[in-house]
Copies of this chain bind each other. A is one copy, B any other.
Amino acid sequence: MGPAIGSDQPASTEGLRRRNTSLVLRSLRMHGPATRAELAKRTGLAKATVGVIVGGLAEAAAVDEADSVPGGRGRPGRPVTLTGGGLLGLGLELNVDYVSAVLLDLGGRVRLSETRPATDAARLPALLELARDVVRREPGGRLVGAMVAVPGLVRGDDRSVAWTPNLDATGLAADVEAALDGRCRVSVGNDANCAAYAESHHGAATGVAHALYLTGTVGIGAGIVSDGRLQRGSTGFAGEVGHMPIGDSTARCGCGRRGCWEASVGLHAMLTAVGMPELATPLRSAQAVAARAPADPAVREALARLGEDVGLGLAVLANVLDPEVVVLGGYFVPLGEHVLAPARRSLDERLPSAAQRRPELRLSTLGMEAAALGAAELALEGVFSGDVPVG
Chain B residues whose CB sits within 8 angstroms of the CB of A351 once the complex forms? 243
Q: Which residue of B lies closest to A42 (CB)?
A: B8
Inter-subunit contact A3/B238 (CB<8 Å): no
Inter-subunit contact B315/A244 (CB<8 Å): yes
Q: How far is the CA of A246 from the CA of B261 in the complex (A)?
A: 12
- A235-B357, A237-B355 known; A1 vs B207 contact (CB < 8 Å): yes
Q: How far is the CA of A385 from the CA of B245 in the complex (A)?
A: 39
Q: How far is the CA of A244 from the CA of B317 in the complex (A)?
A: 9
Partner of A26 from the list B5, B29, B349, B354 (CB cut-off 8 Å) is B5
Interface digits, A220-258 against B, CB 8 Å rule (1 contact, 0 not)? 001011111101111111111101111000000001010
Q: How far is the CA of A139 from the CA of B123 in the complex (A)?
A: 69
A6, A12, A320, A386: most-surrounded residue (chain B CB, <10 A): A320
Total copies of the chain: 2
Partner of A322 from the list B20, B43, B237, B257 (CB cut-off 8 Å) is B237
Chain B residues whose CB sits within 8 angstroms of the CB of A377 once the complex forms? 2
Chain B residues whose CB sits within 8 angstroms of the CB of A233 once the complex forms? 210, 226, 321-323
Q: How far is the CA of A255 from the CA of B162 in the complex (A)?
A: 41
Determine whether A10 belongs to the interface, using a CB cutoff of 8 Å to chain B: yes
Interface size class of A (residues with CB under 8 A): 35 or more
Binds B, one of A70-78, A166-174, A198-206: A198-206
- A226-B226, A349-B257, A355-B153 known; A23 vs B2 contact (CB < 8 Å): no
5 smallest A-B Cβ distances: which pairs?
A233-B322, A3-B228, A210-B234, A163-B355, A237-B322
Query: Mind listing 18 A-B residue pairs with CB under 8 Å?
Result: A2-B200, A2-B377, A2-B384, A3-B200, A3-B207, A5-B26, A5-B381, A6-B23, A6-B26, A8-B26, A10-B45, A15-B16, A153-B356, A227-B229, A234-B359, A241-B319, A245-B312, A316-B316
Taking A7-B23, A10-B23, A320-B320 as known contacts, 20 extra A-B pairs with beta carbons closer than 8 A to each other, sorted by chain A number, are: A1-B201, A1-B202, A2-B207, A2-B384, A4-B228, A5-B229, A7-B19, A10-B45, A210-B234, A222-B320, A231-B321, A233-B322, A234-B322, A234-B323, A237-B319, A238-B321, A239-B320, A244-B315, A245-B246, A257-B350
Q: Which residues of A contact B (CB under 8 A)?
A: 1-13, 15-16, 19-20, 22-23, 26, 29-30, 43-45, 49, 108, 153, 162-163, 200-202, 206-210, 222, 224-229, 231-241, 243-246, 255, 257, 312, 315-317, 319-324, 349-352, 354-357, 359, 377, 381, 384-386
